Chain A
Amino acid sequence: MPQWTPDQPLIRILDVHKAFGAITVLRGVSLDVMKGEVICVIGPSGSGKSTLLRCINALVTIERGSILVEGQEVNDPKLDKLKLRRKVGMVFQQYNLFPHRTALQNVMMAPIHVLKRDRREVEEQARKLIRKVRLEGKEESYPGELSGGQQQRIAIARSLAMNPDVMLFDEVTAALDPETVKEVLFTIRELAEEGMTCVIVTHEMGFAREVADQIYFTDGGVLVEHGPPKEFFANPRDPRTRQFLDQIL
């Protein structure tokens, strides 16, 4: 397998098809993500956005097509999933923090048990990450004691603790109160500005416009069009895109 180099796409998705039983969710989706790029995927519900993300880190297997992450084929049955998930971090809409552990423990767990790193080193990094997401002082709180936005930021810190090369965000602000959405978006923007490669599925158009390098629009399991935010929002080419943007903007 040729060694991956940063001039090649970090993620290369080629003609991916996925069906859940009788329902086809992805019909031949292809896209490339370069290192350091921030991609926003937008589209109506059920258009396959979340499924696409889950395909990238092998939470969902695809029927046809190929997904290459740093040159490694995800669709390979012999794939080392654990190795993939160290490179690809994912944050979910429902935060999914472990309720029986404190915030700090949540952030520390995976690096200790999965990466087998030294405990003190992990703790230091965890505290730094919690500081970074501006939740210093909340290390010993349990998820049940934190607000939705705070939990989501801890979830981001938890994924970052694995030192991934790319972060996937699945509508992470959709379940939050409007007041807390801002703080989470701010955290993500900081990450993007620091150079983290991000694939963000979101409904927040304003945020997408500011932070993305490329916007992709999906509808009915197909990638209808894409482009840099300025062009995309100013001159959508496809009528479906125009219809969607009219509805939400």
Chain B
Amino acid sequence: MSVGGRTDLPVLLPFRPRGSAQGPAFRLRARHGLMLAAALTLSVGVAEAQTAPGAPSIIATILKWTPLLAQGFALNIAMSFLAMAIGTVAGFPLGLGQVSLLGPARGVSWFVTQFFRNSPWLVLLFYCMLLMPFEVSIGGTIVALPGWLKSTIGLSLPVMANVSELVRGAVRSIPYGQWEASEALAFSRAQTLRMVILPQCIKRMTPPWMNLYAILTVATPLTSVVGVSEAMTLTGDILSSEARTELLVPLYLYLLLWFFLYCYPIARATQALERGFQVR
């Protein structure tokens, strides 16, 4: 069976969406942040116009609440880091299981991956929040499981499934010749994976992995629905306590700006990495 048989005339150019189908675009630019800031300024202006005389200005109100919002946002970030870490650590072996030579291992890994990939994130969050116990005993000591931790675990489940798919895709994208050459050099399958295949996979996996992190970060506000007191919840609380309708648009735009400013460097970094890897 001869290897190759490829024509070198490309029938089609490579398919390169800017930014993968799920994550922030790689063409995230400062000007977009400026646009958002401009929208914010405009809405603040409009809101100021509607402010009843004697009431504190919109800008002052937003600034007053910024420290609290920052605390909430910090929780979002913390949850995103933790969920990403747990999901990656769990997803890697799952992905390797999907390419295992053992039929049962492959089947189980595939099923678990598909199950958590096909579940809506919010439903998984509900599931974890409502059905996980509020405390567990590990080796005699009782450890309380706070709401944000249960939510984080809930978020790590789809991350795990996505990482598993990333790993599987990356392993399968390594040309078959690499496996053959390693076999011919008498490497065992485990050695081949460890020394030849996986090191090459790590590079290819990094941009989509970073993309996944961005998706996860913009998914953390979902935890507000199940009662975690993060930035989104706090925004709602602020609005109820201030009870001023003209605050609605500026404050939500302000919250959107926070997320935008966090995702921007990540998108730029991912963009740079992807460019670096495409130059072969």
Contacts and interface: CB of A to CB of B under 8 A. Distances in A.
Physical contact A–B (CB less than 8 Å): yes
Contacts of A51: 1
B17 to A, nearest CB: 25
A207 interface: no
A90 B185 CA distance: 8
A159 B186 contact: no
Given A92-B3, A98-B178, A114 B186 contact: yes
A78 interface: no
B237 interface: no
Given A85-B184, A113-B195, A144-B280, A99 B200 contact: yes
Contacts of B191: 113-114
A92 B1 contact: no
B195 A96 contact: no
A82 B178 contact: no
Contact of A50 (B2, B186, B280): B2
A89 interface: yes
B202 to A, nearest CB: 9
A171 B2 CA distance: 9
A228 interface: no
A110 interface: yes
B177 interface: yes
Given A93-B3, A114-B191, A158 B185 contact: yes
A226 interface: no
Interface string B185-224: 1111001000110011001000000000000000000000
A93 B4 contact: yes
A57 interface: yes
B173 to A, nearest CB: 13
A113 B196 CA distance: 12
Interface in B1-18: 1-4
A50 B184 contact: no
Contacts of A59: 180, 183-184
B108 interface: no
Contacts of B203: 100
Interface string A9-20: 000000000001
Nearest to B188: A82
Given A45-B2, A94-B3, A100 B184 contact: no
Nearest to A144: B280
A207 to B, nearest CB: 19
B3 A110 contact: no
Given A90-B184, A96-B177, A144-B280, A175 B4 contact: yes
B181 interface: yes
Given A100-B199, A100-B200, A94 B185 contact: no
Contacts of B183: 59, 81, 85
B1, B4, B187, B280: most-surrounded residue (chain A CB, <10 A): B1
Contact of A85 (B1, B185, B199): B185
Given A99-B200, A144-B280, A92 B177 contact: yes
B2 to A, nearest CB: 5
Contacts of A109: 185, 195
Interface string A37-63: 000000001100011001001010000
Contacts of B177: 92, 94-96
A140 B260 CA distance: 43
A86 interface: yes
Nearest to A94: B177
Contacts of B188: 82, 114
The 7 closest A-B pairs by CB, nearest first: A96-B181, A85-B186, A96-B177, A110-B185, A90-B184, A82-B186, A94-B177
6 contacts: A50-B1, A50-B2, A85-B183, A98-B178, A113-B195, A158-B185
Interface of A: 20, 25, 45-46, 50-51, 54, 57, 59, 81-82, 85-86, 89-90, 92-100, 109-110, 113-115, 144, 155, 158-159, 162, 171, 174-175
